[in-house]
Structure 1
C-alpha cells in the first residue's frame, strides 16, 4: 500500500495495541496498563505492513508525530516506526509526547466495565451514561476534551496549511480508542454530542484529510480502520 497518490496532507491516526483492560472492556484513561504480547504483535505487524519507504506511512515524509504519554501509546509508536526511523524522528525533534491526545480522563469510572458503570449509576439514581453529553464523574467533560483537541488540531493545521495545494505533510497521532473517536469528531467539525459511529481495533490505523484542498472547508474522512496485521 503506497502513499504515491496523496495530493494533500493527511493525518494518520493509530490506536495502541491490545492491553488486558482492552480485553476485559475496562475504561482505561490515565492508568498505565501495558500492552499484552498480542498487543505488541498487533502493532509490530501493522508497522511492517503499513510503515516504511513506499508504504502508506513513509517516516521520512512525516512532518510531526504527536503521541499520548501513556506507555501503551509510546510503546505502540516504537513498534510501528521501528528503531531506526524512530531514532531519526527523535533526532529531528519531530516527535511530541503530549497530554493533548491522551485518553479521555474517566475519573470515577477508571477501571470499570460498562456493566459496572451502569450498576454504579443505578445506585446513584442516575440514568443511562452518555460520555459525549455528560463526560465522566470526577474526570473530563466534553467541553474540556473539545478544548484540548481543538488546540492540537489548530497546531496540525498550521503545519499543513502550506502544503494544501500539493505535497505531503502528514502527521501521525498515536493514542487510544475513545480519544481518537473524539479527535475525528472535532476534525470533522462535529460537536461531541453528534452521533457518529466509528471503531478502531487495537493496532489499527486510519486516515484523515481535507475537503476541497482548503483548510477552511469541513474536513473529510477518507479512510478508516486498516486492520492490524497480527
Structure 2
C-alpha cells in the first residue's frame, strides 16, 4: 500500500505542481517531434507518456497483478493523460479535475459505494518497429517510414470502488454513467462484479443501484 500511495503522490504532484513539466516534454518533443501524429489515431502513445502504473497489465482480463482500487485507477488515468500526442485527445479532462470529481460524487452519493470505470484505447510501438523498417532512429529522434504503420493498438480497462471503508452487512453499489471515462465509441452500459457474497459475478448496470449482503 505504501508503494501505491507513493505512486499517487507522484501523480498528483506532477499534475498540480508541474502542469507542464518543461524538461520532460521538451525531451519528448525532441524524440517524437518528427513523427506523423495523425497515425496515432487514438491520441495516446504509450512511449510518449509517463507510466505511473503498468498500463499493459490492465487489458480487461482479470489477473492477480491487475486488481484495481482508487489509487491504481488514478495512476492509470494519470498515465494516459501524459501519453497524449497530436490533437485527438487534447481535450481530455485534467487528472486533478477528475480526481476531485470522484471524491465529490462519492461524498454526495446516497449509495454506499460508487464505481468509476476507465476504458481507453491507446497505441504503442511494435516491438520490432525498427528492425521491420516501420521507423528509423537517428540522433535520438524517431522518423516515420512512408506507407508503414509502426503501432499496435491496445486497451486499458479498470473499474474501482470509491469507498474503501464499510460497516454493516448490506450495501448498495452503483456505476454512474458520469463516472465512465472512455475514448471509445462503444457504450459501456454494464460491468460484472463479484462482491464475494457467494453469488459469483453479478451484472451492475450503469445508473442502477445493486444490493449485496455480506453473510460472513
Q: Hey, which of these two has a bigger chunk of strand by percent?
A: 2
Greater share of helix residues, 1 or 2? 1
Query: For the pair shown, which has the larger CA radius of gyration, 1 or 2?
Result: 2
TM-score by length of 2: 0.26
If asked which structure has higher relative contact order (CA below 8 Å, sep 6+), I would say 1
TM-score by length of 1: 0.25
